[in-house]
Amino acid sequence: MTLDQVIAANRATRQKHPENLMARHFDEDYFRGLDEPSRQRLTRIIASGIENPDSQMGAYAMNPDDYDKFAPMLDPMIRDFHGLPVETAIAQQHDWDTSSTSCDLGAIDRRLKDVSMRVRVARNLSTFPLPGAMSKEQRVALEDLAAAAFENLREDALFGGRYLSITPGSPHEIDAEEYDRRVGAHQMFKDMSGDSYLNTAGISADWPHGRGMYVSKAEDFLVWVGEEDHLRIMAMQRGGNLNAMFERLRIGLERLQDLLPAFATSPSYGNVTSCPTNLGAGMRASLHMKLPKLTSNGHDLARVKREAKTLGLAVRGAGGEHSDAGQDGLVDISPSARLGVTEMKIMRRLYGGAAALWEMETA
């Protein structure tokens, strides 16, 4: 794409898709002022938002240092998404201490004692480019490194389990049937090769090489390898006790961190991730809740999205991002902000938001 093409495309997108944060914050003078190699790098970072005008964010970092190098373009987008005012410094603090707050959904209503809870953090290793810029060899090398770390967890009393690979010819390879079953169980990630956002960003390239998942025996501690970030580390449980699930992730994350090279972090943005929506804590904590009244039995998400937004929550369909609501209005709700908020704050926001939505649902 030439300089003029990028500029023209973004002008058109800004008119038609005001929600596209990349187009909203695209600064023509800054773009023109970059030297040619930098302009090419930035064009790759924003390609996804140009090719997919309906993007919410419209950019994916290709290397951990992109956030600092291209801050004049990316910082305003990041602040806009996470709700951080321009004049304040961003400080990413961490807090995993569950002892002071009880977040038990069963205390809100007995009917919420058996919801499906999930919390994941996105992490990238500082020793590889981010997934949008990796070669096939690097994807497989990353998977080998992760598989070696999982080998150390295999017999662990708390986190023991299996690594399942979808890389053709891998010693850990699973068949198509098991892969489909794990996707259906909401454990494994979907085939990325059909996702136009990830395709333009290069993140789904070389599919399915270098991709897989670690799963604990109890199937409540999972690690994705080679999706949108190098690693997505998560805890998943049925029940209502968010604290217990958080503790499970905290301890598992610490164990894994000891077995891997350092994660990529930025002084201002905390954990570095492919998508700027995940910077900071890198955490998405979600609940699968049945909200038939608020969603007209799952046929219309407009109202629930509006109500959720005022509570700082995003709504996804029952199959994850870009999917539809499930039976009886089953939706995925999660706090939107991940940067400038601690892990505990994210959990409390989910708890309080779920309580408020439930009150509307049952009123």
Shortest gap between Cβ of 86 and Mg ion (angstroms)? 28
Tell whether residue 268 is a contact of ligand ADP (CB under 6 A). Answer: no
Stretch that binds ligand ADP, among 54-62, 116-124, 146-154, 156-164 (CB under 6 A): 116-124
Q: Which of 209, 232, 248, 338 binds ligand ADP (CB under 6 A)?
A: 232
Q: Which does 123 bind (CB under 5 to 8 A by kind): ligand ADP, Mg ion, none?
A: none
Nearer to ligand ADP, 137 or 178 (CB): 178
Neighbours of 363 (CB within 10 A): 6
Which residues, other chains included, contact 39 with Cβ-Cβ below 8 Å and sequence gap of 6+? 3, 31
Tell whether residue 106 is a contact of ligand ADP (CB under 6 A). Answer: no
Question: By the criterion CB under 5 A, which residues form the site for Mg ion?
Answer: 321
DSSP-based helix, strand, coil % in the chain, nearest 5: 45, 20, 40
Q: Which of 104, 156, 247, 321 binds ligand ADP (CB under 6 A)?
A: 321
Q: Which of 22, 121, 287, 339 binds ligand ADP (CB under 6 A)?
A: 287
With beta carbons less than 8 A apart as the criterion, state whether 232 and 186 touch. no
Query: What are the distances in angstroms from CA 264 to CA 22, 76, 231, 340?
Result: 23, 21, 11, 17
Which residues, other chains included, contact 155 with Cβ-Cβ below 8 Å and sequence gap of 6+? none
Stretch that binds ligand ADP, among 15-23, 62-70, 106-114, 282-290 (CB under 6 A): 282-290
With beta carbons less than 8 A apart as the criterion, state whether 81 and 25 touch. no
> How far apart, in whole angstroms, are the C-alpha atoms of residue 129 and residue 46?
16
> How far apart, in whole angstroms, are the C-alpha atoms of residue 38 and residue 188?
36
With beta carbons less than 8 A apart as the criterion, state whether 283 and 119 touch. yes
Tell whether residue 117 is a contact of ligand ADP (CB under 6 A). Answer: yes
Tell whether residue 118 is a contact of ligand ADP (CB under 6 A). Answer: yes
Q: Which of 320, 324, 359, 362 binds ligand ADP (CB under 6 A)?
A: 320
Nearer to Mg ion, 95 or 321 (CB): 321
Nearer to Mg ion, 156 or 321 (CB): 321
Shortest gap between Cβ of 334 and Mg ion (angstroms)? 11
Tell whether residue 239 is a contact of ligand ADP (CB under 6 A). Answer: no
Does residue 335 have a cis bond before it (omega within 30 degrees)? no
Stretch that binds ligand ADP, among 32-40, 48-56, 110-118, 292-300 (CB under 6 A): 110-118
Radius of gyration of the CA atoms of the chain, in A: 20
Tell whether residue 284 is a contact of ligand ADP (CB under 6 A). Answer: yes
> How far apart, in whole angstroms, are the C-alpha atoms of residue 251 and residue 218?
15
The SS3 assignment for 48 reads: helix
Residues of this chain that interact with ligand ADP (CB under 6 A) are: 116-118, 120, 186, 232, 284, 286-288, 316, 318-321, 332
